[in-house]
Structure 1
Amino acid sequence: MPDTSDEKRVVVHADPSTLADAVAGRFIQRLIRGAGAGGPIHVSLTGGSMGGAVLAAVRTHRRLSEVDWADVHFWWSDERFVEADSPERNDVLARTALLDHLDIPAANIHPMGASDGRLDLDAATDAYSRELAAFGSAQEPWPSFDVCFLGVGPDGHIASLFPDRGEILVTDRVTLAVRDSPKPPPERITLTRPVINGSKRVWLVLAGADKASALGLALAGASYPSVPAAGAKGRRRTVFFVDEAAASQVPPELIDPEY
């Protein structure tokens, strides 16, 4: 089956643990396949309980050693602007779950700035744009992520793009500083929607009954300024990987039993 489609796919697994294992397996397979295409593989990570669970499942996957991690670069779609060692940070979660256990060059891991670093929020935001640009092009100053992982909040937010706020509408920036976030902590750095949607594959991973309404709205074609998850779309694939509780409001005809 060709790896391209304009449709959003919904893949359902029984529970969060089964979901994490399944996504981890697909991710490992994607990395192994991508290595044959030559050039670096860029991945954008997310936080949250499912983001961490998927990475922990990757760490214990039987095919982990088949990946040439020297070819893989890890980025983040957003970050909490707190101290570098804070457990609230998405990169700390990722390092604990997976990255610290890989034989990967330190230069391949690209964390966003922290509040106890030498840069303030605005300068750290700009610095991440420059780092992304070093792997992009003049037309798109960011790497096209082979996989962009996203979580989805109960309110439908993705990364730190929250409903009915100006950040979701910005198209002329690569990164944005977020202040007064409706979800703590208040200060964050986020990628913008064009960067997320420049990814080859967007994989949204969500579990729990509290996500069912947001998932239903995203699939029903809700306005993305009000439901940011509705506006997430990869160039080749857009897949919602969900558990049965999150899928409770998804019409059966939208569920892909084969993908």
Structure 2
Amino acid sequence: MNVLITGASAGFGKALAERLVAEGHRVIGCARRLDKLTAMAETLGDLFLPVVMDVNDTVSIPKIIADLPDGFNQLDVLVNNAGLALGTAPAQSANLDDWMRMVDTNVKGLIALTHAVLPTMVARDSGYIINVGSIAGSWPYLGGNVYGATKAFVKQFSLNLRADLIGTQVRVTNLEPGNVAGTEFSNVRYHGDDEKAAKVYNGFTTMTGEDIGDILLWLIESPAHININRLEVMPVAQTFNGLTIAKQNS
């Protein structure tokens, strides 16, 4: 099986790549940082193909897919894992550049890559697209403004893909994780402030990138006649809660 993973150099993507290679699958690991991909290739061997890809550069994506070498060019699974959150400020004081970058990465990059691989999957009547969304696409929270909106798009896009693909054997899943430690997510969100990022995970047992890697592997190796439309997963310590009320002083 050939699996293309974006954001493969860290977090969920790296954990999944390691698990897939251990199971004998071929992995096309895509990310912006060649040094990290090269280090992974040295460890994972010939089953891992490092490919430099910036999903924000949507114009380059079709050529990258077309130029995949023999042995890796028939894609069985696409894992749209690349994504990011930037900032925690409320909308009225958020940075517009952060908003635009989240849309470029989480929305435009994801749909450009899906558009590049989907026709071949449909022609072959076989394939699987897994989009890594977030619980933020369903549950709003303070400071989640555009990040949550991009993940709501990913959720609805995934469901609409399923609707369009009726009558084919191409599967689509939106995986929606909650709080996960051990990735670069919060470090990126806090613009490299490692101290702030670490505090996000203090005081409770959260999920890890390895946990999500295990779930992704389970999805990929699930029976081909089963489609899991959405899978929302949180640590036990996290849940949805009551609505917030701003009380006036009496």
- Tell me which interval the TM-score lies in, with the shorter structure as reference length: 0.3 to 0.5
Q: Which has the higher contact order (CA 8 A, sep 6+)?
A: 1
Bigger Cα Rg:
2
TM-score by length of 1: 0.38
Structure with more of its chain in helix, by fraction: 2
